[in-house]
A and B are shown apart, each in its own frame.
Chain A
Amino acid sequence: MTHLRWGLIKQQMSVQFLVRTMNPLSLGLFVIQPAVFSAVGMLLSRAAGNSTPDLVYSVIGGGIMGMWSGLVFTSTFDIAGDRRNGMLELIVGSPTSLNLIESIRTFTNVLSGLFSLVLAFMAATFIFGYSFTGVNTWGVIVSLLLLLFAMWSIGVFLANFLAWSRLSGTFVDYLEMPIAFICGFMYPIRVLPVWLQHISGAIPIRWALEAMNESLLGSFDLKYLTIHWAMTIFLSLVLIAITTWMQVKVHDKIRLSGELSSI
C-alpha cells in the first residue's frame, strides 16, 4: 500500500529540490521579495521619523513573509506545473497516493522556506547588530518548530485544494496576502481591528507566530506560550483532518471531470 518509505521521502525530496527549489525563481521568492518587504517596513519606519528599524517585525517578519510566499508559490507551481506537463496523471495513476506525495513535497517546501528565515536572522544579526539578549531561546525554538508544522498543515491543505480544479490556482494566489495581513506577519496582531484579530484566531500560523515573536521580545510567560502552542497544534490537526476528509473527494472529482491533465 502507500505507506511511508524512506526511499520515497528521499526521492521525492531530492526531485522536488532539483525541479522546484534549485531554480532562479527561488532566489526571487526566498531572498529578494522578503528583503523588499523588510525594506518597506524599515523605510516606512524611517519616513515616520524612527531612527532604528524594528528588527523582530520588519526584519525577521520579512523572513516569515518569504517562507509563506515560497510555500504558496511552490505549492501552486507543483500542482499547476504537474497538471500542465502531464505529470499529475502519471502520479495519480501510480500505486503511491498523491496525498502522500503532496505531504512530502510540502515538507520540502516548508524546509526550503526556512532558508528565508535563516537569512532574515543573519541579516538581523550581522547587518543590524541584533544581539539576541533577553530572548527566550527555548520559546523561540519550540514556537518555530510549531510554526513549521502549522505551515505544513496549511501547505497540504492548499495542495489538495489546488488539485481540486484547474481554477484553484487563481484563488490560492489571492490567499497569500490576506493570510499575511490577517496573521500579522510584519506587525503585531494587536494593531488590527478586533474583529480581524478574531478571524485570524482560526489560522494555526498566527498562534505559533505570535508565540515566536513574543519569545523573541523576551517573554517567558509560560501560560501565554503554552496556550499559543496548544492552539497551533489543535488548529493544525483540525486542518489536517479536514484535508484528509477532502482528499478522497478530490481524488474522485478530478477523475470525474477529467481535470487530471489539461487535455
Chain B
Amino acid sequence: MDSFAIETKSLNKVFITKTGFWKNKSKSTMAVEDISFSVERGELFGLLGPNGAGKTTTVKMLTTLLLPTGGTAKILGMDVVKQTAEVRKHIGFAFSGSRGLYNRLTAFQNLKYFAELYSLKDDFANKRIPMLLDLVGLADRADDRVETYSSGMTQRLHLARALLHDPEVLFLDEPTVGIDPVGSRDLRKTIKNLLSLGKTILLTTHYMAEAEELCHRIAIVKKGNIVALDTPDALKRRISGESVIEASIQSDQIQVLIDKLKVLDQRTVITHDTTTEPEKLCIRTTEPGRVLELLSPYLNPQYILNLEARSQTLEDVYIAIIQGDQA
C-alpha cells in the first residue's frame, strides 16, 4: 500500500440552483473548477483561500458528502465515489460552526450517539469518550446540554467527534474559528500530536500564522483553482525578491501618497490597512530603494509617522498571490 493518503485529479464541482420567480431558470455556480493535489501519509496539508474559493466544497467532496461533477478523488487509494462506504470508515471530519450537534443532548450523549454510528464497541467508547473530552478540554462540561455551550466549546466538541473512531485521515474545516488564543494553542498542539501518531490531516483556515506553524504544505485556492502549492518556506521564497515596507500615515494624506507610488512597476502591491490607528500602507515591492526615494520628501509628522521594512510572512505571500494577479 503505497498510495497517497489523499489524491485528487482535476476535481470539479458545479452547483445547479433553480432561481427566478417561477423557479424555472437554473443558475450554475462553478464552486471548484480544477483541483489536483496529493497528500502523503502523515502529512498536514493546508487549503487557504478567500471566502467562496471552494475550500469547503473540496473538503465535502473528499469526505463523500458531495459528488464531484468531474475528476477523481481517492482517500488511501479508495475512490470517494465508488468506494464510499469504505472511505467513510477511515476518515473523520469536522466543520466549523454550531451546527452538527443535538442541542438537547449533552456532550457525552452526542459523542455516544456518533460512537454508535461508527460502530464502536461499548467499552471502547466508554473509555475513549472521556479521554477525548479531556483532550479538547471539555471534561468538566461533559454532562451539560450542548445548547448551553459557547461557540468555542462546540467547536472543540466537533474535533472530539471527528476523532471518535480514531480515523487515519482527518479533515478539519476551519477548526480554530471562535476558539480563544490559549485554546487554539492547545488545539494546535493536539493536531501536532495527531501527526506524530501518523495521521494525515487536511486543514482549511483563514489564520495565516496557524497555517504557517502547522502545515507541511499549503495550497492556495482561488475561484476553484489552485494558484500556488508548496511548503510555507518555499512559498515565502517565491516572493523573496520582494521587500515589505510598512508606513503609518495620517489618514487624510493616504491618497496623496498612493498617487505618488503609482509610478512603481506592475508587480508592486499596495494594501491599505484602515483598521489601525494611524492607518497603514503596506507596500510589497521589488524596488524598495525607489519606494524610500518617493516617500522621503514626506517623512514628517504631517504625512508619515513611521516607516519600517520587515521580513516576509505567509500573510504577505497570500495577499500577494490573491491580490497580485487581480490587477
CA distance A12 to B117 in the complex (A): 9
CA distance A7 to B15 in the complex (A): 38
Residue of A nearest to B171 (CB): A93
Q: Are B65 and A5 touching (Cβ within 8 A)? A: no
With an 8 Å Cβ cutoff, the count of chain B residues facing the other chain is: 32
CA distance A65 to B115 in the complex (A): 36
Q: Are B63 and A19 touching (Cβ within 8 A)? A: no
Residues 82-109 of chain B, each 1 if its beta carbon lies under 8 Å from chain A, else 0: 0001001100010101011111110001
Q: Are A95 and B66 touching (Cβ within 8 A)? A: no
**A2-B85, A18-B105, A258-B15 as given contacts; A91 in contact with B117, CB under 8 Å:** yes
Residues 95-118 of chain A, each 1 if its beta carbon lies under 8 Å from chain B, else 0: 110000100000000000000000
Q: How many A-B residue pairs have CB under 8 A?
A: 83
B131: Cβ under 8 A from any A Cβ: no
Q: Are B64 and A15 touching (Cβ within 8 A)? A: no
With an 8 Å Cβ cutoff, the count of chain A residues facing the other chain is: 30
A87: Cβ under 8 A from any B Cβ: yes
Q: Are A90 and B114 touching (Cβ within 8 A)? A: yes
Q: Are B67 and A86 touching (Cβ within 8 A)? A: no
B113: Cβ under 8 A from any A Cβ: yes
Residues of A9-43 whose CB lies within 8 A of B? 11-12, 15, 18-19
Taking the closest CB of chain A, its distance from the CB of B120, in whole angstroms, is 9
B119: Cβ under 8 A from any A Cβ: yes
B143: Cβ under 8 A from any A Cβ: no
Q: Are B67 and A256 touching (Cβ within 8 A)? A: yes
**A19-B105, A85-B99, A87-B100 as given contacts; A252 in contact with B116, CB under 8 Å:** no
**A92-B65, A94-B88, A257-B15 as given contacts; A15 in contact with B109, CB under 8 Å:** yes
A89: Cβ under 8 A from any B Cβ: yes
Residues of B92-149 whose CB lies within 8 A of A? 93, 95, 97, 99-105, 109, 112-114, 116-119, 122
Q: In the complex, which residues of chain A have a beta carbon less than 8 angstroms from the beta carbon of B100?
A: 85-87, 89-90
3 closest residue pairs by CB, A with B: A86-B99, A86-B100, A11-B116
Taking A5-B119, A85-B102, A87-B100 as known contacts, 6 extra A-B pairs with beta carbons closer than 8 A to each other, sorted by chain A number, are A87-B99, A90-B100, A93-B93, A94-B118, A257-B15, A258-B60
